């Protein structure tokens, strides 16, 4: 089994860097070295001004051996979210793939997944209540009609907080909605470089998604081209142990399933 795609990458990382050959070509070079033949650029929607579809077109022409998808990671940032949603609506037909994410809980000025500062948002709180609130926000993103796939579905565990309630009860309604809307879920290696030290989502959630027939993408959430496909051997082992034999790719929001 070989994972040939990476559907969560951030060429701009955490600042506005307009798309150009200089910025993007190293990502394609890195993909090629790692045997990845299908990658999606999914910068944070707050940096949508840096996304240049014509630069992506030129990159495709220069690299016909690698599928390069135009994407975005749309999140629930209370400050930039509305502009991000408007941008996704405007460019929907030029985008191949949109990730939906929840990075914000009650504090509008701080992502809860910033490490380590975001852990303070969990102090003195009931973890079950935070999980319930987090998944309610995921459902809002899933129901927006503007996403193809949910990223890091159980990101709320990032600092290592675990609920008392069963995860099946906490996540069930969210998975039902994802299934009903025909969306995919990302299997991400990013959790292995965070305090929780576990892939997203947890095995139990993946099993519940499998039971509902929800398809999966695979991803690293790379913020540097060196991180593309990071920890894929570990992720391959997880997929194999769960009997997952297909991954999804997207072209203009149309999903294709590939046997591994």
Answer for which of 38, 43, 221, 230 binds Zn ion (CB under 5 A) is: 221
**DSSP for residue 189:** S
Question: Interacting stretch for Zn ion, rule CB under 5 A, among 18-26, 28-36, 195-203, 217-225?
Answer: 217-225
Q: Rule CB under 5 A: is residue 189 a binding residue for Zn ion?
A: no
Question: Interacting stretch for Zn ion, rule CB under 5 A, among 26-34, 65-73, 134-142, 201-209?
Answer: 65-73
How many of the chain's residues bind Zn ion (CB under 5 A)?
A: 3
Q: How many CA atoms does the CB half-sphere of 199 hold within 13 Å?
A: 23
Question: Interacting stretch for Zn ion, rule CB under 5 A, among 23-31, 71-79, 130-138, 195-203?
Answer: 71-79
Q: Rule CB under 5 A: is residue 30 a binding residue for Zn ion?
A: no
Question: Interacting stretch for Zn ion, rule CB under 5 A, among 33-41, 47-55, 64-72, 97-105?
Answer: 97-105
CB of 152 to Zn ion, least distance (A): 6
CB of 182 to Zn ion, least distance (A): 22
CB of 137 to Zn ion, least distance (A): 13
Binding mask 99-138 for Zn ion (x = CB under 5 A): --x-------------------------------------
Find the radius of gyration of the CA atoms of the chain.
Answer: 17
182 Cβ partners below 8 Å, 6+ apart? none
Q: Residue 200: beta bridge partners?
A: 188
CB of 178 to Zn ion, least distance (A): 17
Q: In what order do the strands lie in the sheet with 216-219?
A: 5-6, 38-44, 67-74, 97-100, 149-150, 184-188, 216-219
The beta strand positions in the chain, using DSSP E, are 5-6, 38-44, 67-74, 97-100, 149-150, 184-188, 216-219, 246-251, 254-259
Kindly list the residues in this chain that would bind Zn ion in the complex (CB under 5 A): 73, 101, 221
């Amino acid at each position: 089994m070989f994972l040939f795609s990476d559907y969560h990458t951030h060429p701009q990382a955490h600042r506005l860097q307009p798309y150009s050959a200089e910025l993007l070509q190293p990502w394609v070079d890195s993909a090629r070295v790692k045997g990845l033949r299908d990658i999606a650029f999914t910068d944070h929607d707050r940096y949508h001004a840096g996304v240049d579809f014509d630069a992506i077109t030129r990159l495709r022409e220069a690299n016909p051996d690698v599928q390069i998808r135009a994407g975005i990671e749309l999140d629930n940032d209370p400050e930039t979210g509305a502009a991000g949603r408007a941008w996704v609506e405007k460019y929907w037909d030029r985008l191949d793939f949109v990730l939906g994410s929840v990075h914000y809980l009650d504090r509008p000025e701080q992502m809860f997944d910033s490490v380590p500062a975001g852990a303070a948002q969990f102090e003195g709180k009931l973890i079950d209540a935070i999980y319930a609130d987090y998944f309610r926000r995921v459902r809002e993103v899933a129901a927006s009609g503007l996403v193809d796939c949910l990223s890091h579905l159980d990101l709320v565990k990032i600092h290592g907080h675990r609920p008392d309630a069963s995860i099946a009860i906490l996540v069930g309604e969210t998975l039902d909605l994802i299934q009903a809307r025909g969306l995919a879920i990302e299997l991400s290696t990013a959790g292995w470089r965070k305090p929780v030290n576990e892939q997203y989502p947890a095995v139990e959630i993946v099993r519940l998604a499998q039971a509902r027939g929800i398809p999966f993408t695979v991803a690293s959430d790379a913020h540097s081209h060196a991180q593309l496909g990071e920890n894929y051997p570990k992720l391959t082992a997880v997929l194999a142990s769960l009997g997952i034999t297909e991954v999804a790719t997207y072209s203009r929001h149309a999903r294709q399933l590939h046997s591994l």
